[in-house]
Structures are given as structure tokens and as C-alpha cells.
Amino acid sequence: MGRERDTERQSRVRQIRRRVFVVVSLLIALMVALSLPGVQRALFPGWLIEIWGRVIAVVAVLAIGTILLLPVMIEANLNPRPLSGPGRVPRGKGIHPPVDDQ
């Protein structure tokens, strides 16, 4: 039983890593495509080309941030914590006013 759980955990980790790899690859491909001068001039107005370095920097930060947050994403998906909520609240208690049963 323990081995099955370990293999399930490993397969979930591989799946998360694959998804993050795809996202990071798309961000890097977007960054490379946007850095080509022909693409810039053809698709975007002049005022956006002036701040183009900042646009590419934002995409780079998103890619690096996704890579750095990979352990947090894996842990959050493998060991989700239940949200604490009000649960069952008796009548007359909590935020709802008491109900008359007449």
C-alpha cells in the first residue's frame, strides 16, 4: 500500500513538473518571439516598442517566478490543507438571526 501511494505521489509530481515546464517554455518562447524586431514593428504601436524592454523583463520575471515557485506548487497540490470554515452553526448563534418556528 505504501509503494502504491509513493508511485501515485511521484506521478503527480511528474505531472505538475510537466505542466510547469510547458508554461515556462511558452513564456520563454513568447519572450524570444517578442524580442524579434520584425514582430515588434508589425504587431505593436510605436509607444509600446519604446517600453519594450520592460515588457520582456516582465515576461522574464514571470518565467523565473514560476520556476522558483515550483516546490510550493508541488506541495500545495500534494498536501492540500482543508479550509477552516464556520461548519455547522446552531440556530441563534453566529451571523444569522434566530428563526421563529411558529
Q: What is the pLDDT of residues 25-52, one digit of tens each?
A: 988 888 888 778 777 777 777 777 788 7
Question: pTM for the full model?
Answer: 0.59
Place of cell 440556530: 91
Average of per-residue pLDDT across 68-86:
79
Q: Give me the residue spans of the domains in the chain.
A: 2-78
d(CA 49, CA 36): 11
